[in-house]
Amino acid sequence: MAYENLILAVEESIGTITINRPSVLNALNTATLQELKCAALEMQADDSVKVIILTGAERAFAAGADISEMMPMTAIQGAEHGRMGQDVFSTIENLGKPVIAAVNGFALGGGCELAMACDIRVASEKAKFGQPEVKLGVTPGFGGTQRLPRLVGRAKAKELIFTGDMIGAAEAHRIGLVNSVFPPEELMGAARKLATQIAANGEIAVSLCKRAINQGIEVDLGSGCALEAEIFGLCFSTEDQKEGMKAFIEKRRAEFKRR
């Protein structure tokens, strides 16, 4: 598929999706959201890709949804738009491959929600995060009221959402919204280093770990542990499990084949 708003690249098992609308700080209009879903599914289907990095061109990761597009919407259209964005972000969240958000600048509104749909967030020291929707007379609509409390806790999420305040990378790291912070010139190298480290492991095992965490966090501890046991057992039906444990015994590097 040809993309108008994204740039896709694959190099050494790492797929990179770059949102490329710098003139509007990579605002997420409907066309861009639809392209993001297609790109995510394309990366999922590409067997050469083990880890995905999502970032933005130039000064922003994504500075929110496209306000000019949303302004004339009716209540019904607004709800449909919210469901559409939620579907795109849920697709990214539930991919069978890890997704790292490399947040290089503004991640506001829908941009912050997009980053939260990724598995891991690394940020530039210049990155800015926030859910400023209340300043526009609306609520977050692409999952912000649900994912932010799960990441930073209910009270802090309410503070950020109720005030619409923007926070810097250091504060985002302090409250657990991002995993690590790097100088701007080191961000993509750090993201690729992390992706390479993940890609070296058993691909099936990493995918199953993601499933166990994502599904288990939504249920009680007992149910989550039961799910984990089932997924743990599934690993023993794979060639990768045999190879990984044999390589450990033989004190060599495992050669995983995604089987």
Q: List pLDDT tens digits, range 23-68.
A: 999 999 999 999 999 999 999 999 999 999 999 999 999 998 888 8
Active site residue 113: yes
Return the bridge partners of 103, or none. Answer: 123
The residue annotated as part of the active site, out of 35, 93, 133, 203, is 133
Percent of the chain with pLDDT over 70: 100
Q: How far apart are alpha carbons 138 and 115 in whole angstroms?
A: 20
Fill in the DSSP letter of residue 23. Answer: G
Task: Please tell me the predicted confidence (pLDDT) of residue 256.
Answer: 87
Q: What is the mean pLDDT of the chain?
A: 96
Query: Is a pLDDT exceeding 80 seen at residue 1?
Result: no
pTM as predicted: 0.94
Contact 10, 46 (CB under 8 A): yes
Q: Is residue 213's pLDDT more than 90?
A: yes
Q: What is the pLDDT of residues 119-151, one digit of tens each?
A: 999 999 999 999 999 999 999 999 999 999 999
Domains and CATH numbers, the chain: 6-199 (3.90.226.10), 203-249 (1.10.12.10)
Identify which of 190, 193, 36 has the alpha carbon closest to the alpha carbon of residue 118.
36
Active-site pick, 35, 93, 113, 203: 113
C-alpha–C-alpha distance, residues 114 and 93, integer Å: 9
Q: Looking at residue 187, what DSSP letter applies?
A: H
